[in-house]
């Protein structure tokens, strides 16, 4: 068969190009070639829809681009704090103030969250890894994010008053991801009591007591998705599996309860990055086990 003539991706419909640009990511949209390939790609890269979700976690890529843009000033010093504000400013402009999700780098703090609350009040989700956030500034920012549906934060913010404030200010809040080393029943109680309507809870790579897991499963009646994968000694037992069977998604792994199986972890976050492939032999084993009694 003769090969058909080569297709040009420049002639795709605008909304198809935008659907590609939404997945390219901020570093390539700002500094890469995507926005300068041709006029139709430029228009798509500048479409507000391409800036609804902004992933700034990979700060190295962003700063490399910035250095390339100013070769004559490579020695000039700009604080990373101010640089991040600048990028958020650009993103907010291009999104016409309608950013829906932001993943912030590790050094981001309450000033950046306050900026977002002021410029993008319709924000649905943010990821803020900082481990030294001040409660009052965080709560002030939350007060301006009434459309918030979910957030990813460090365990230092898992505090009853802080989370209750989130619950009170954000009526649609249903999703929480926590970076923590260890979760006991007390921390589980704080989360359950302050955010009773959670549908999705992610606490990956964390040592967690069996009582904590059972607490989540017992108290969060609307829970649909629980991810406690990524740690080697998660306390999975028969009662836990039985209670978890009501969930739509339950991600966990154990090298000990069911023998020597490979780890499985959910590598994605929210819906910005697609999940990487994971080996699920262990989960399949559980599937067989769950099918056994019936």
Partner 1 sequence: MEAVGEEKGATVAEEGKMMKEQGEKGVVASTSEAEKEKMVEAKGEKAVAASEAEGGKMVEGQGEKAVATSEAEDVKMVEGKGEKAVATTEAEDVKMVEGKGEKAVATTEAEDVKMVEWKGEKAVAATEAEIGTSEPKDVAGGRLITLKSSDGKVHRASVAAAQLSVILSGMIEEVVTDDEVVIVPLVDGPTLVTVLEYCTKHAEVAAAARGTSAVAFATASKALEAWDRDFLDRLTMDALHDLFVASNFLEIQGLLNAIAQKAADVIKGKTTEQIRDAFNIVNDLTPEQEATAAELRRKYTWDYHPEA
CA gap 279, 91 in Å, rounded = 36
Burial of 169 from C-beta contacts in 10 A (0-12 / 13-18 / 19+): middle
**Binding span for partner 1 by CB under 8 A among 63-71, 131-139, 172-180, 231-239:** 63-71
- The conformational region for residue 97 under phi > 0 = left, psi -120 to 50 = alpha, else beta, is left
Q: Which of 244, 253, 257, 269 binds partner 1 (CB under 8 A)?
A: 244
Beta bridge partners of 86: none
In whole angstroms, what is the distance from residue 231 CA to residue 88 CA? 34
In whole angstroms, how close is the CB of 133 to partner 1 at the nearest point?
A: 23
**Position 87 contacts partner 1 (CB under 8 A):** yes
Kindly state whether residue 201 participates in binding partner 1, applying the rule CB under 8 A. no
197 binds partner 1 per the rule CB under 8 A: no
Dig out the tokens for 195 from the structure.
């955010």
Residues 132 and 110: their CA atoms lie apart, in Å, by 9
14 binds partner 1 (CB under 8 A): no
User: What's the CA gap between 223 and 204, in Å, rounded?
Assistant: 16
Q: Per rule CB under 8 A, is residue 20 in the interface with partner 1?
A: yes
Which of 41, 51, 138, 231: binder of partner 1 (CB under 8 A)?
A: 41
Query: Are 53 and 24 spatial neighbours (Cβ–Cβ below 8 Å)?
Result: no
Instruction: Work out whether 90 is an interface residue with partner 1 (CB under 8 A).
Output: yes
Which residue of 168, 233, 256, 290 would you call a contact of partner 1, by CB under 8 A? 290
Query: Which residue from 131, 134, 168, 245 is in contact with partner 1, where contact means CB under 8 A?
Result: 245
Residues that bind partner 1 (CB under 8 A): 1, 3-4, 6-10, 12-13, 15-16, 19-25, 28, 30, 32-39, 41-42, 66, 69-70, 78, 82-83, 85-87, 89-90, 244-251, 274-275, 277-281, 283-287, 290-291
């Amino acid at each position: 068969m003769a090969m058909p003539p080569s297709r040009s991706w420049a002639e795709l419909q605008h909304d198809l190009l935008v659907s590609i640009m939404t997945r390219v990511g901020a570093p390539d949209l700002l500094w890469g070639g995507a926005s300068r390939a041709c006029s139709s790609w430029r228009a798509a890269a500048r479409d507000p829809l391409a800036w609804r979700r902004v992933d700034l976690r990979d700060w190295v890529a962003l700063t490399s681009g910035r250095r390339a843009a100013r070769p004559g000033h490579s020695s000039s010093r700009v604080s990373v704090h101010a640089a991040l504000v600048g990028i958020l400013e650009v993103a907010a402009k291009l999104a016409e103030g309608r950013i829906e999700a932001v993943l912030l780098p590790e050094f981001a703090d309450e000033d950046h969250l306050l900026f977002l609350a002021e410029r993008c009040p319709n924000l649905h989700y943010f990821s803020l890894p900082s481990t030294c956030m001040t409660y009052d500034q965080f709560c002030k920012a939350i007060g301006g994010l009434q459309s918030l549906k979910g957030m990813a934060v460090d365990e230092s913010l898992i505090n009853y008053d802080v989370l209750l404030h989130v619950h009170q200010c954000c009526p649609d809040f249903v999703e929480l991801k926590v970076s923590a080393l260890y979760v006991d029943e007390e921390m589980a109680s704080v989360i359950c009591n302050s955010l009773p309507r959670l549908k999705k809870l992610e606490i990956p790579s964390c040592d967690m007591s069996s009582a904590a897991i059972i607490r989540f499963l017992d108290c969060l009646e609307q829970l649909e998705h629980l991810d406690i994968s990524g740690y080697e000694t998660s306390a999975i037992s028969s009662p836990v599996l039985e209670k978890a069977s009501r969930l739509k998604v339950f991600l966990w792994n154990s090298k000990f309860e069911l023998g020597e199986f490979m780890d499985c972890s959910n590598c994605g976050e929210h819906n910005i990055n697609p999940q990487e492939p994971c080996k699920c032999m262990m989960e399949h084993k559980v599937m067989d086990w769950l099918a056994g009694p019936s």
